[in-house]
Amino acid sequence: MRLFIALDPPEGLRDALMDMQDGLGLGREVPPENLHVTLAFLGDQPEASAELLHEMLGAIRAPAVRLTLRGAEMFGGRQPRAAVALVEKVPELVALQEKVVQAARMAGIELPRRRFKPHFTLMRLPRFLPDFAEHRIAAWLGRNGDLVYAGGDALQFTLYRSTLHGDGPIYDALAQYPLAPTEEPA
């Protein structure tokens, strides 16, 4: 099973992400139900590891994570492969990501050390881009590069199975784990 762990956007934030998708005019949109912030990509894992992982993830106690969009970027450098909305790296998000990685390691899953740059992938771009792509990308970054959007709290995180298909991956939520709501200041 190809597994990853992610945060899902609250509904209002999903709409904001879809608005951002509408404006690029290049590549393939990530379907609304697939929009997520990956906390850890685990690759192919045997069923036994998945079960142990499920136990470890269920033991995580962590507060809800405030999801704030802060700007947009193209991933891939000189060969842009994805348009993403960046997510503010608040301490609760960093702590949760570390706990998730630790849970995976405790389940015997080796993860390469990677810098965590939280984001929603919005569009995936083809390898060969048309001539007008540069202009569209620049215009989109101009509109969204400084965007700030308070997207509300993620109150859970999800273990997904990803099945690859020619026309994009299919994500199945295998299990969800609650995060503790934070108290609103009076």
- What is the amino acid identity at position 1? M
Residue 32 per-residue DSSP state:
G
How many other C-beta atoms lie within 10 A of the C-beta of residue 81?
A: 17
Nearer to ligand 3AM, 124 or 136 (CB): 124
Structure tokens at 175: 């299990």
Least distance in angstroms from the C-beta of 183 to ligand 3AM: 30
> Does residue 144 interact with ligand 3AM by CB under 6 A?
no
> Does residue 4 interact with ligand 3AM by CB under 6 A?
yes
Q: What residues between 47 and 86 interact with ligand 3AM by CB under 6 A?
A: none
Q: What number of chain residues touch ligand 3AM (CB under 6 A)? A: 5
Nearer to ligand 3AM, 160 or 186 (CB): 160
Structure tokens at 66: 């405030």
What's the rounded Cα separation, in Å, for the pair 55 and 41? Answer: 17
Q: Find, among 5, 84, 8, 67, the residue nearest to 40 by Cα.
A: 5
The residue written with tokens 């099973």 in the block is 1
How many other C-beta atoms lie within 10 A of the C-beta of residue 158?
A: 20
Nearer to ligand 3AM, 40 or 52 (CB): 40
Nearer to ligand 3AM, 31 or 181 (CB): 31
> Does residue 158 interact with ligand 3AM by CB under 6 A?
no
Q: Which of 99, 162, 177, 179 binds ligand 3AM (CB under 6 A)?
A: 162
Q: What residues between 23 and 42 interact with ligand 3AM by CB under 6 A?
A: 38, 41
- Residue 21 dihedral angles phi and psi, to the nearest 5°: -60, -40
Q: Which of 21, 121, 144, 158 binds ligand 3AM (CB under 6 A)?
A: 121
What's the rounded Cα separation, in Å, for the pair 183 and 186? Answer: 9
User: Which residues are near ligand 3AM by CB under 6 A?
Assistant: 4, 38, 41, 121, 162
